[in-house]
Amino acid sequence: MNHTLNKDTAKQLKEISYEMSLLLVEDDQALIQQLKQFLSRFFGSVDIANNGLEALERYKKRSYDLIITDLTMPLMGGLELASKLRTINETQNIFVLSAHSESEKLIELINIGIDGFLLKPINMNHVITQLLKICQAIYANKMLNYFSNLLEETNAELKASNAELESALNEVLRLKRDAESVKKTTLTHENEYITSSQPSRALNDEERMMLYTRSEKLSAIEFHTAYPFELDKTNEDLEILEDHFNLVLMKADKSINNDTLRDLIKILRNYAKVIELIPQFGALAFGIQQLARTFESTQDPTKVQSIMPMLTLLFDNLEQWRRGIFFYRNVEDIHYMDNSLISDALSLQGILDNEHASSNSDIELF
């Protein structure tokens, strides 16, 4: 055998075949041992069989990426072995070791679908070149199967996530409908307070939350022109807090602990502090402040996991509200989202209060 190798070809073969398995089938003991020793430098595992019958027994116990078989052997030759292997696995990669004198079997081998031929006497450079071609094809097919399976798994995970998201959104819509009913009742009370000639009295927390200053319709442009607030600074501060919430949200995707809960409380309190500097949004600031207090009374951080979709929706709506009024300044009425945002805050408070009541009930029963 010729042992002078093309180093570049040998290196390429080793890079892609080091995890592949090979079965050598040859009755010439000297030749098969030489081939095994040589090819073990490239393949992750190299098994040997002395004839086709022995090779079939090995094949039933494990699979191989590539099989190299001699043609003329006792008990079962390479032609019969290749035919049986194709019956078991029609995609099995098979190379045939043959001498020039065995060319009469060429047509039959081609009909079976042999992947290639290695002629005796063995030329190692030719062997390496031929093996590189077939191993590249094997590697490409493995990668295709891997990414196909990965795509299927990802699609399955996306379907499951979409189903969970749809369920969460349906729950949000239900809670918002409930809150809308409460809102309509409270707005009726608001009109009574505004038009009533009775002496004024102190409002409770729920009344303060829903009873905000309903001035004449004011566009965002008029708002920025008429009031000497540092509204650009307000926009920047709120945007930073929204970014902080998104960072906490990413961490909370894995687990929610006391640190997560403290971060959420801090963000909600700071958001309320920035808004309450603007009198027109006092009720909204109060609503967010009340939500922060409800979070503070939460003893078990895991209880927050179930409301994260709703809290995320609240911050999405707050971002939309901020952009319309403070950034794009394109809304016709600066109070166009007040009721919706306060309703979101009320819904979240209601759920957390129910969680607290349920937890206290469990403790009493225990």
Q: What is the pLDDT of residues 119-131, one digit of tens each?
A: 888 888 889 999 9
CB 50 within 8 A of CB 27: yes
The whole-number pLDDT of residue 123 equals 87
The whole-number pLDDT of residue 76 equals 93
**Domain end residue (candidates: 119, 144, 169):** 144
Verify that 116 and 208 share a domain, yes or no. no
Low-confidence ranges of the chain (pLDDT < 70): 1-5, 100-104, 168, 171-172, 175-216, 228-229, 254, 356-366
Q: Is residue 177 part of a domain?
A: no
What type of residue is 189? H
**Domain end residue (candidates: 106, 124, 144):** 144
Verify that 135 and 206 share a domain, yes or no. no
Q: Is residue 335 part of a domain?
A: yes
Q: Is residue 196 part of a domain?
A: no
Name the domain count of the chain: 2
The whole-number pLDDT of residue 119 equals 84
Verify that 255 and 140 share a domain, yes or no. no
Q: What are phi and psi of 64, to 5 degrees?
A: -130, 145
The whole-number pLDDT of residue 124 equals 87
The whole-number pLDDT of residue 365 equals 35
The whole-number pLDDT of residue 83 equals 92
Q: For 283-312, b where at least 16 C-beta lie within 10 A, e where not — what string? A: bbbbbbbbbbebbeebeebebbeebbbbbb
Verify that 225 and 355 share a domain, yes or no. yes
The whole-number pLDDT of residue 101 equals 57
Verify that 207 and 311 share a domain, yes or no. yes
Verify that 17 and 133 share a domain, yes or no. yes
Q: Is residue 180 part of a domain?
A: no
Would you call 66 helix, strand, or coil by DSSP? strand
Domain encompassing residue 291? 202-365
Verify that 210 and 349 share a domain, yes or no. yes
Kindly give the pairing relationship between strand 45-49 and strand 94-98.
unpaired
pTM of the model: 0.44
